[in-house]
Every structure is written in C-alpha cells, then in structure tokens.
Structure 1
Amino acid sequence: MPEDIILSTSGLTKEFAGFTAVSGVDLKVKRGSIHALIGPNGAGKTTCFNLLTKFLPPTRGTIVYNGRDITGEKPAEIARLGLVRSFQISAVFPQLSVLTNVRIALQRKRGDSFDFWRSERSLKNLDAEARRLVEAVGLSPFLELTAGELSYGRKRALEIATTLALEPEMLLLDEPMAGMGREDIERIEALIRKVSAERTILMVEHNLSVVASLCDRITVLARGQVLAEGDYATVSKDPRVVEAYIGSGGGHGHH
C-alpha cells in the first residue's frame, strides 16, 4: 500500500545572491499527519514555507500538492486549492470584534468581499457559521471583544479560526507558539490537535517539547538541507541533529 502523500517537494532549492537558503529539499507530507519542520536558526525553515505557499519562486525543484504540480502557481491559487498558511492570509483586524473578524474571513472564502458593506441580511446568514468557528477555537466567551483586546494566545486562536474559515485541506502554521507562555502554549497545542482531525498540518516550530508531543513526523533542516527525518524519538537521538542544535546555540529565537 503506497503512502498517501498530500504534499511533496523534489530537489527544492532557493538561491539568493551568493547564498543558498534551501538546497535540494525532498519533503513528503502524509495526508492527515501533523508534520513539523524544525532546525536551528538560518536552517531555511521560513524560506521553505515561503516556497511552498508561492510567496517566493524556487530557483530549482518542484512542488506537488494533491497530485498536481503547483510549482508555477500563484499564492492566491494555492489557497483556493486548499493549501493555506495561517497568520498571513488571515490578518486579523484589531479594531473589529472576534465575531466580525471570522465573518469577514467567511465572506472572503465566498469571494464576495465587498458585499459586506452592503447587505445586512447576507451577514446574518454568516453569523451562525462564524459563531461555530469561534466556538471551535474556544473563543465563545470573547465574541464581542475586539481582536486587539485579546491575549497573545487567544489572538493566535482567532487567527486559526479565520484560517479555518477558508476551509483548508492542509494548513501551514509558521511558529504558532512563538512568544507564548506555558498556559497559552497548552491551549494552542490542544487546538492544533483538534483542528488536525480532518486536515493535514505542516508546522515550523522552535518549541521541541511541543513538537515531541504533537507531531507524527519531523523533518530537521540545517543549512538549507534535510539533516534527518522521522518521529521525535528517532530524530532527537540522531547525533547530527544534536550537533546542529548544540553547535548553533540551541536554535532559539527568530531567523
């Protein structure tokens, strides 16, 4: 039985002037899995994400999503195919309420983004669905708060809700736990686990304890190349991985 691969790359390479950020990366993400991309600073994780979501064109290599070569596609097209990156498409409007933010995202999915200045009735129809999404990410008590008033972790939960409004089949999360305290981390981790029930998730994450408990498969990048791949137990014991992390001062902080 062949593995069901939803997203794969072959020889994915990105060169900037005199510098190779991503070098010959072959990635295979199994449908329905939670897959993490980890590695020390400067390993190329974010560049890799930018290539997958078409925010950067690759220098070489191919990207296949759901059996379709998307190497030449535009970012908006990728999202329409169901490959959606959170915290980017879903810019949250800080001055609008939690409910309104989710409702706007639902409208964006329908492509009638300008209608919401016009028709009160079409907004009411979206309310029930918006409330359902707000509840799904645990924000029902905060419906009427503006996004700007939410704590950091709850803002992230709202961003995930606005991303889910686009009905992604595969979700790319770029450091969803960055800058969070333990309580928020636990909440977002539980949310990602819940969200992953009928979706595939690929995430860049610095917090290794989160990766250990959450992810089925882990790809370790170092200097733009795949260093190791497997489950947490396997990669965490790999001497090259240990060396890459320790040799780079632990790989915390930002790129």
Structure 2
Amino acid sequence: MTQDFILRTSGLTKEFKGFVAVSDVNLGVQRGHIHALIGPNGAGKTTCFNLLTKFLSPTRGTIHFNGVEITRDEPAQIARRGVIRSFQISAVFPHLTVMENVRIALQRKLGVSSHFWRSPDILNTLNDRAMELLGHVGLADFADMVTAEMPYGRKRALEIATTLALDPELMLLDEPTQGMGHEDVERVMQLIKKVAANRTILMVEHNMKVVSGISDAITVLARGSVLAQGTYAEVSTNSLVIEAYMGSPEAALGS
C-alpha cells in the first residue's frame, strides 16, 4: 500500500553565515497521522518549523504539500493552503474574552479580519461557530471569561481552538505542553488526539510521555540532521538516539 504523504521535504537545509542549523532533512508526514519532531536542545526543530511555514527561507532543498511544491511560497500563502502553526508562547489576546479570541480567528478565515467597525450584530453571526469550536476543546463554559484570567493549560486549549478556526489541513504545534503541570498535560494530550481525528498534526514536543502516548510516527533531529525515524518503540531503542539524548548508549530514552 502506497503511503499518502501530506507533507514532504527533500534535502531541506538552512545555513546562517556558515553555521548549518538544518542539514539535508528528508521528512515525510503521512496524512492523518500525529507526527512528532523531537531532539535535544539545539537540534534544529524550531528552525525546521520556521522553514516549513516560511518564516525562514531554505538555503537548499524543497518542500511539497499535497503534492505541490511550496518552497517559494510566502507565509500567508502557506496558511491559505491549510498549513497553520501554533507557537511555544501562547498567542492569544489576553484582554479579550475567550469567545472574542475565537471570533477574531473566524473573521480572518472569512476574509473580514479588518472589519472591526462592523455592527456587533453582524459579528455575532460568528458566535455559533465560535461556541462549537470552544465546545470541541472543552472551553464552552469559559466563553465569557477574560483570557488573562484563565489557567495556562486552558489558554493553550484556546490557542488550539483559534488554530482550528482557520480550518487547517495540517496543524503544526510547537511545544504544546511546555510549562504545564501533570493535569494540564493530560488534558492537552487528549485534546490533540481529539482534534487529530480528521486532520494531520506535526508537533515539536519535549515531553516523552506525550510523544509516546499519542504519536504515530517520530522524526529525531540531532545537530540539524535526521538521526532516526519510525515509531516510538523503534526510535526509543535506537542506540544513536539514546546517545544523543543521554550521552551514552546504556541510558534509556525518556527514563
């Protein structure tokens, strides 16, 4: 059976004045999968995300999405194709309500993001869809709360809701559980599994419990290059991966 890759890179490389941050990365993300991009600090994971979303332009190599080369696309074109990214730092408006945050994302999707002068009655037509999205991420009861008053884990759930409002085909999640306590990590893990039901997710994540618990496939980066690819069972027993993380082949990944 031929694998259906929604995203592929070939020889993806990024150099900064002689320093090679990403080197010859061949990445294949299968449609419908949760694919984790992991590696030690400085491995090139965030740079790779920046290349995929065109916040950076590659020095060499190509990127294909849905079989179409997007290497030279601008970030806005990438987003319009359905590749939407969240960031390590929560990117919501803290002084707006939870509902208003989702509604702004819906306005962007509808092409009316600059129409803040419109009558509230017109903008209220987005409320049903906003509430649907909030329900999807378990935030329906928080709709009228000012975002700054919410716990950190709930803010990350809101960020996922605003990402979903842009109707992504491929979601790129950058450290979705960073800085969370155990309860919030569990909640966000389950949320990622839920929203992955009809879309593809590529995530950078350090928490090995999250990676092992929800990933279908894993790519390990080290010093900007692909060290290993496969399932968690495959990469966690790879001696090169163990050494990259722990410093010796006798150590166990995630222990």
Length-normalised TM-score, structure 1: 0.95
Task: State the SS of the aligned residue for 1:178.
Answer: coil
Matched residue of 1:117: which SS? coil
Secondary structure, counterpart of 1:116 in structure 2: coil
Maintained 8 Å contact 1:206/1:251: no
Aligned partner of 1:65: which letter? F
Q: Compared with structure 1, are the counterparts of its residues 64 and 205 closer, same or farther at alpha carbon in structure 2 (3 Å cutoff)?
A: same
Alignment partner of 1:36: what SS? strand
Give, in whole Å, the separation in 2 of the partners of 1:49 and 1:250: 27
Query: How far is the alpha carbon of 1:173 from its aligned partner?
Result: 0.2
> 1:121, CA displacement in angstroms?
2.4
**Gap runs ≥5 in structure 2:** none
After TM superposition, the structure 1 = structure 2 runs for residues 170-209 of structure 1, keeping only pairs within 5 Å, are 170-209=170-209
Indicate the residue corresponding to 2:25 in structure 1.
Answer: 25
Match of 1:5 in 2: 5
> 1:24-74 deviations in whole A, cap 9, x for unaligned?
000000000000000001100000000000000000000000011000000
Q: Does 1:241 align with 2:226?
A: no
Give distance in 1, aligned partners of 2:230 and 2:96. Answer: 42
Is 2:129 the counterpart of 1:129? yes
Distance in 1 (CA, whole Å) between partners of 2:149 and 2:253 is 31
Q: Separation in 2 of the partners of 1:110 and 1:149?
A: 28
3-state SS of the aligned residue for 1:229?
strand
Q: Please give the TM-score of this superposition, normalised by the length of structure 2.
A: 0.95
For structure 1, which runs of at least 5 residues remain unmatched after alignment? none
Counterpart of 2:5 in structure 1: which amino acid?
I
TM-fit CA distance, 1:118: 1.6
Asked whether the 8 Å contact 2:242–2:252 carries over to 1, the reply is: no
Give the drift of 1:214: 0.5
Q: Within 5 Å, which residues of 2 pair with 1:53-92?
A: 53-87=53-87, 91-92=91-92
Task: Give secondary structure in 2 for the equivalent of 1:115.
Answer: coil
CA RMSD in angstroms, aligned pairs only = 1.9
Q: CA deviation at 1:251?
A: 10
Identity of aligned residues (%): 65
**In the alignment, structure 1 residue 40 sits paired with structure 2 residue 40:** yes
Deviation at 1:250, TM superposition (A): 10
Distance 1:41 1:98, change over 3 A: same
1:194-243 CA-partner distances (Å, limit 9, x unpaired):
00000000000000111001000000000000000000000000000000
Structure 1 segments of 4+ aligned residues over 3 angstroms from their partners: 248-252
